[in-house]
Amino acid sequence: LPQLPYWIQAVAGGMQRGALFSLLAAAWEQPGNLQPATSIIEVDTAQGRVRDAQGRWHGPYDLVIAADGAASSLRAQVQGTSLDREYPWGALWCLLPAEDWPHACELRQRYVAARKMIGLLPVGTRPGDAEPRLSFFWSLPRDQFAQWERDGLQRWLEEIATLWPQAHARLDSIGDATQLARAGYRDAVMSRWSRERLVLAGDAAHAMSPQLGQGVNMALMDALALRDALRAHADRDAALQAYAAQRRAHVAVYHFWSRWLTPLFQSERDMAARARDLLLKPLGDLPGGRGHMLRVLSGTQRGWLGTLGLSPGFLAAMAERNAARIG
């Protein structure tokens, strides 16, 4: 959660999923059609109907938006998958009370080469929970999740105490392995984002590793671009093509960087981790290097050299928010 200078039009903030979902729910003007606990497994792309796991059909709808995440079960129905693979590394994560954590505006991480990583990210509060929280995460290969659980918490906690005593002190409330969620990551590239009445958005359209922390940013910008395209084009197919063209131009460079940066932070490649330690800071000190890095980390990099501008109103609101937090 770095403090990013506004002259590069970049801002930063950590947020809990529950807080984001509450904001989106409050902005939904017609929530009466919500169907909770319904898993969609098939889409009739021609008629805009969807079938749930119980075999029931719903619809027809003007448009079906598949936003079911990185492990999307609907992505393949667009019939445009160029790449869809799991990354070998994932993470364990949970929310912890922030209490007197001194780094309220910073993401803090500790590494052992690229083999081990501990991270703590302040993510604020959420409706119904006024206590500020930290998002804790521990890097782990996916095929070691079961072994980690068999080894027991005590061994793991002792390792954390050795690597980062201050982080270990935050884990007093963790007494069972089930308190930590397992996260897996995918790399998915689509040659097309829509088919007839079905369109992809968010990680379903462009899953990538979380090294750049842009999953939520990209999904929200997808939603905004899709709204704008539907308003600008009377023809549905033209709108969906315009939406995909705009968003692919933005996310392509993030796919590239996340794919190539992942081995520097989650792998057994010790030489790659050493190169990371030696080169990233000098690269950031080059003319334009820091600005480029911060634009990438704030989601405002467009292509190799372009910038995605943020509205003055948004920048002013974030400046006011950060001033209030720091003050």
- Kindly report, residue by residue over 245-266, the tens digit of the pLDDT: 999 999 998 898 899 889 999 9
Q: Which residues pair with 111 in a beta bridge?
A: 117
CA angle, 35 as apex, 31 and 37 as ends, to 5°? 130
From the number of C-beta atoms within 10 Å of its C-beta (0-12, 13-18, 19+), residue 158 rates as exposed
Q: How far apart are CA 3 and CA 321, in angstroms?
A: 12
- State the pTM of this model: 0.87
Q: Is the bond into 102 cis (omega within 30 degrees of 0)? A: no
Q: How far apart are CA 28 and CA 282, in angstroms?
A: 46
- Region 77-97: mean pLDDT is 95
Q: How far apart are CA 244 and CA 222, in angstroms?
A: 9
CB under 8 Å to 42, separation ≥6 — which residues?
Answer: 50, 51, 77
Does the pLDDT of residue 10 top 60, yes or no?
Answer: no
CA angle, 160 as apex, 107 and 89 as ends, to 5°? 70
The crossing angle, in degrees rounded to 10, of helices 270-285 and 289-298 is: 110
Pairing of strands 49-52, 57-58: antiparallel
Q: Which amino acid type is present at position 305?
A: L
CB under 8 Å to 93, separation ≥6 — which residues?
Answer: 135, 136, 137, 138, 180, 181, 183
- Region 134-142: mean pLDDT is 96
Q: How many residues does the chain have?
A: 327
What percent of the chain is modeled with pLDDT above 70? 94
Does the pLDDT of residue 41 top 90, yes or no?
Answer: yes
- Region 115-135: mean pLDDT is 93
Q: Exposure string (b/e) for 73-84, b if CB count within 10 Å is 16 or more?
A: ebbebbebeeeb
How confident is the model at residue 50, as a pLDDT?
Answer: 98
How confident is the model at residue 8, as a pLDDT?
Answer: 37
CB hemisphere CA count around 78 (13 angstroms) = 26
Rg, C-alpha atoms of the chain = 21
Q: Exposure string (b/e) for 220-256, b if CB count within 10 Å is 16 or more?
A: ebbeebbeebbeeeeebeebbbbbbebbbebbebbbe
